[in-house]
Structure 1
Amino acid sequence: MLKRIPGKEVKKRLHNPDITLEELCGLMNEFVQAAKEGKNEEKGWGHSAYNVSKVGITVLSFIQQREFNADPREDLIVNAVHPGYVDTDMTSHKGPLTPDQAESQKTALETPFNTILQNIQ
């Protein structure tokens, strides 16, 4: 999803491995303001609010996992699922994946660690 954001500077800021929650929120607010002004493409965000929201959620999951890494408990993990282009009303039924295929990815993430999954498609 990050590859769909055309602006090099925006992409660099989102890809920063040390980004903080405050910085991410600031970036998302910058996008909202640019979109309100009709300047989101001009400012490097591209034309898809949906894409920006998915990138924001992904970056948030990295931030959360980094915070959990500092926790002494070893059973904490953060997962983010982007199943791909799914055949739904939102995609005008152009996605090649069925909702069931997308759901199988979520199922894999809900399964306890070190469990062998079979027949996940």
Structure 2
Amino acid sequence: MKTRNVAMYGMLIALAFILSYIESIIPIPVPIPGIKIGLANLVVVTALFLMGPKQAFMMSMIRIVLVGFTFGNLSTMIFSFGGGLLSWLIMTIAKRWNKFSVTGVSILGGISHNAGQILIA
């Protein structure tokens, strides 16, 4: 089981990294700097449902650090940590509550990610 988990972590982190790169090259016609679609957060939702909340948290934090060092800077990472932490918390609560589908949990995660970044600002 350990080998399977390591392989799953590696694949999901690589996928999140690739999706973050794709997001960084897609121009979004919104006058707010730093706005993104949130493709990489799909990997966190996937990890939450496939592996559990602790693993999804680790995936989110590793993704934020790797993407921050590669495509961003310290301020980008700080905003991402705030958004990622609140997003993970809300998605975990929503999943445990069993009132939302995967899509609903993902939407709540996107909304709370934006709210977390605004709180940091």
- Report the TM-score, using the length of structure 2 for normalisation: 0.35
Whose radius of gyration is greater, 1 or 2? 1
The structure with higher relative contact order (CA 8 Å, sep 6+) is 2
Structure showing the higher helix proportion among its residues: 2
